[in-house]
Amino acid sequence: MGFLRLASVCAVVASLGVCSAAGAAERPLVIGSQGSFFVGGEVKAVTPPPGASALQRAGDITVNQMYVQYQIPAGPARRLPVVMVHGCCLSSKTWETTPDGRMGWNEYFLRKDRPVYLADQVSRARSGFDPSVMAAVKAGTTPPSALPNIISATHQLSWVLFRFGSSYPNAYADEQFPVQAADELYKQMIPDLNAQLPTPNPTLTNMAALARQLKGAILMGHSESGFFPEQAALIDPTDIRGLITIEAQCPANLTAQQIATLAKIPTLVMFGDHLSDAPTMIVNWQTTFEVCNAFVEKVKAAGGDAQMMHLPKMGLRGNSHMLMQDKNNLQVADLILAWIDQHAERKAH
């Protein structure tokens, strides 16, 4: 018995009945270096609540650290890295192999010679979370109301909110999300404990710190984290060379000074399709889009290089909220990569 390489890659998505021939035929990836590390983190003293397990003892734990996984292409080129930060109830899996087994943006950007850094938000996935409140509630020393509002979106909610269709499980006629593989997306959806984070959210501070560590980086956020790049820049813009905001809620109340700070950094905002005809479930997409349009105009009015890419206007129709996983995800990536070349990389040199 031996290990059939290509067969096995297909095997893992066999339950979906799909195995991209294009993916299997992809040329080998040549990676200069890869690895993972943490940004930030603070030491916190904890005392064991009554009745705690033997493993729970008085001492210190580390909280608010951000896990980052990176790959840097081989070759002599010095290119700005892209830091990708996922949205609500998701992890960095967002950017990897799509639910139907195609190449994710992490690998595609790398193949286009961009160093890629994937960050799990603080309190999510490999970044861990602070369990102190849960231990105290279990022990009875803190009331249950102190527990955070943990968000874990249901399949039914995600379907409409992510604009796969106007009602579950019906898809829009031109839907680009691979809805036959939606079950694989649901496996990516994990509990979101951001409600228990301090202010400012340590993910923002850590994103700004990461840009400094890298001596220049483009920050990209999506959905919940869509405006995180700008928020990180408002904490410390020093080494942030580009802001990419995908399908986000933009604040309407930024001050002139804040706009002036952001206007020094090239900014791209992107939205998919079905904004005006999506039913409002939590989010009114058309209004959200309009507020982001107004943000872009304010940055431009302040002399900034800001651009709104509304995909239907660029000729790409049917894109969902999860456009990095849509069937045309690499076409969407090409728009971003071209924007980086023309707006962020050029200015960085």
Closest CA to 322 of 199, 201, 181: 181
Q: How many other C-beta atoms can be found within 10 angstroms of the C-beta atom of residue 174?
A: 11
Contact 220, 83 (CB under 8 A): yes
CB 126, min distance to a second copy, A: 4
Q: Which of residues 119 and 308 has its CB atom nearest to a second copy in the complex?
A: 119
The end-to-end CA distance of the chain, in Å, is 53
- Minimum CB–partner distance for residue 196 and a second copy (Å): 11
Site size toward a second copy, by CB under 8 A: 104
Q: Which of 9, 18, 254, 302 binds a second copy (CB under 8 A)?
A: 9
Q: Shortest Cβ distance from residue 117 to a second copy (Å)? A: 9
Instruction: Give the one residue of 83, 91, 177, 267 binding a second copy; rule: CB under 8 A.
Output: 91
Measured from the CB atom, the residue of 67 and 172 that comes closer to a second copy is 67
Give the number of other CB atoms < 10 A from CB of residue 169. Answer: 11
DSSP-derived pairing of the beta strands 240-246 and 116-119: unpaired
- Residue 18 exposure: Cα atoms within 13 Å on the Cβ side: 17
The SS3 of residue 54 is: coil
Beta-carbon contacts of 279 under 8 Å, excluding residues fewer than 6 positions away, are 160, 166, 167
Contact track, a second copy, 254-293, x by CB under 8 A:
----------------------------x-----------
Here's the x/- map for a second copy, 32-71, by CB under 8 A: it reads as xxxxxxx--x-x--x-----xxxxxxxxxxx--x-xxx--
Q: Residue 280 is encoded by which pair of tokens?
A: 């409002």
**Which residues within the stretch 301-320 sit at the binding site for a second copy (CB under 8 A)?**
none
- Distance of closest approach, residue 80 Cβ to a second copy, in angstroms: 5
Side chain identity at 144, as an amino acid letter? P
The least distance separating a second copy from the CB of residue 310, rounded to whole angstroms, comes to: 26
What does the alpha-carbon distance between residue 38 and residue 70 come to, in Å, rounded to a whole number?
Answer: 11
Q: How far is the CB of 17 from a second copy (least distance, A)?
A: 14
Cα 64 from Cα 40, distance rounded (Å): 7
> Binding to a second copy (CB under 8 A): which residues in 167-206?
183-184, 186-191
Spatial contact of 33 and 125, defined as CB atoms under 8 Å apart = no
Min dist. Cβ of residue 301 to a second copy (A): 26
342 binds a second copy (CB under 8 A): no
Q: Is residue 8 a contact residue for a second copy (CB under 8 A)?
A: yes
162-165 long-range contacts, CB within 8 A, separation 24+: 162/320, 162/321, 162/322, 163/272, 163/273, 163/274, 163/275, 163/278, 163/285, 163/320, 163/321, 164/320
Residues 100 to 159 in contact with a second copy, rule: CB under 8 A: 101, 103-104, 107, 115, 120, 125-129, 131, 134-135, 137-140, 144-145, 147-157
Nearer to a second copy, 145 or 255 (CB): 145
Closer by beta carbon to a second copy, 2 or else 315 = 2
| Smallest separation (angstroms) from a second copy to the CB of 270 | 23
The C-alpha atoms of residue 349 and residue 338 are separated, in whole angstroms, by 16
Considering the complex, state which of residue 157 and residue 260 has its C-beta at the smaller distance from a second copy. Answer: 157
According to DSSP, the residues that pair with 219 across neighbouring strands are 83, 243
Q: Does 87 bind a second copy (CB under 8 A)?
A: no
**Contact with a second copy (CB under 8 A) among 85, 87, 92, 288:** 92
> Which lies closer to a second copy via its Cβ, residue 138 or residue 317?
138
Q: Which residue has the tokens 């058309």?
A: 286
Q: Which of 170, 174, 200, 215 binds a second copy (CB under 8 A)?
A: 215
| Alpha-carbon dihedral 24, 26, 31, 37, rounded to 10 degrees | -50
